[in-house]
Structures are given as C-alpha cells and as structure tokens.
C-alpha cells in the first residue's frame, strides 16, 4: 500500500477547493480550524451551486475567491454542468477538494478519485443516497428507531454517498430527540471529523486497500 497523498505535515499547506450549496457552516468550521492552527491548509477556492448560498458571503468575509456555477443554467445537461465544475476546479489545481454540503452531482474525472472528500450526517451506508441530505437524514434516523447515528467522512465516488470511508463519529439517539437536537449533536461531531480526515490526508496517513481506507500510524 502507498499513501494516497505524499505531502507530509511539515511541508507547505494543503491547497483546498471547497464546494458548497448552502449556509457554509462547514466552510466556517474549516476556517476556524485554520485560524486556531489546527489545520495546515489554504482554502484557495469556493464554488457554490446556488447564487444565494450564504457560504458565498462567508467566503467573501474570509477573503477567499468564490464563484457560482448555477445548476439551473445547466438543466437537462448534467454532463455540461460537470464539465463546468471540472474546468473551474482545474483553474486552481487543488491538492484536495472538499464537498461541504454540495448537493449537485458532479461527474468528476478519474484523476480526482481519492482527491475529493465528502461528509454525510449519518453512519453510512445507512441513510445515504440520492435525496438523503440535511434534515431528511435525521428524520429518517428518528423514524427508523435507530439508537445510534453520527457522521461519515469518505472519498466521493460517482454514486451519491458512496466511496471508501475514511472515518466515522457516533452519537446516541435519545427517545426525546427531535430533528433539530439530533442534527446539532451530529454537526458537533462533523466539526471534529472533517478536520481530522483532512489532517490524515495531509500527513500521508491514508492508504487504500481493497476499497477500504487504512489509517497508517505515525
């Protein structure tokens, strides 16, 4: 097995593109981790699928170049939308692409396999797939009677919420939980999980074997 990323922790910061569709809370979390010195990354680009996404305002406040590639301009032509995304990403040539609540399907080139991370608010493969996002996921967890939920960081594939799992964080589900209370506790774990996964990638500690991610000890 060889590391999926050869960059070691004492080298230059990891250059990261962030793709989002909404409020940008995950972008905010990553920015705070950078400010605290917990992440050696530079967010070089933000792309939104919607022009009204508050994540664009966050990016502007942080001084990060941001653009919109509006999915509505490509209705009926998902291939053209994917091509537009690819061309935009390639203008900055990032080391890693982070999906931060990005709700559009991107048919990305093969060269980006194991270079695109996604975070999902459940313990995949449960409660994942097309149509499972945000409050819909938490409502499905509550409706199922599951006693545990959490979040999953994984490398993206061409199929929604599939791809090798990097790490997961678990939370208990209480009978008194609402969608809002469960979502809050899961998001608290997301704020820990995503930076951790990115650090592991940056340190060259993620290895792929038989479609499973192994975390190499330091």
Nearest-Å Rg of the Cα atoms of the chain is: 17
Q: DSSP string of the chain?
A: --BS----TTSSPEEEEEEESS--HHHHHHHHHHHTTS--EEEEEEEESSTT-HHHHHHHHHT--EEE--GGGGTT-HHHHHHHHHHHHHTT--SEEEEES--S-----GGGTTSEEEEESS-TTTT-STT--THHHHHHHHHHT-SEEEEEEEE--SSTT-S-EEEEEEEE--TT--HHHHHHHHHHHHHHHHHHHHHHHHTT-EEEETTEEEE---
Positions annotated as catalytic residues are 120
């Amino acid at each position: 097995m060889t590391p999926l990323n050869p960059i070691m922790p004492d080298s230059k910061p990891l250059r990261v593109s962030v793709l989002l569709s909404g409020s940008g809370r995950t972008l905010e979390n990553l920015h705070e981790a950078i400010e605290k010195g917990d992440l050696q990354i530079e967010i070089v680009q933000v792309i939104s699928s919607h022009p009204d996404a508050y994540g664009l305002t966050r990016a502007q406040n942080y001084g990060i170049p941001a653009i919109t590639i509006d999915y509505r301009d490509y209705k009926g032509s998902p291939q053209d939308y994917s091509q537009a995304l690819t061309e935009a990403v390639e203008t900055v040539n990032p080391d890693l692409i982070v999906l931060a609540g990005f709700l559009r399907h991107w048919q990305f080139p093969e060269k980006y396999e194991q270079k695109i991370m996604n975070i999902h608010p459940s313990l995949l493969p449960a409660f994942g797939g097309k149509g499972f996002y945000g409050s819909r996921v938490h409502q499905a967890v509550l409706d199922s009677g599951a006693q545990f939920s959490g979040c999953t960081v994984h490398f993206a594939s061409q199929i929604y919420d599939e791809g090798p799992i990097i790490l997961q964080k678990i939370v208990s589900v209480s009978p008194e939980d609402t969608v809002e209370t469960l979502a809050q506790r899961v998001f608290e774990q997301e704020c820990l999980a995503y930076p951790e996964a990115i650090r592991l990638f940056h340190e060259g500690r993620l290895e792929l074997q038989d479609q499973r991610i192994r975390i190499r000890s330091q």
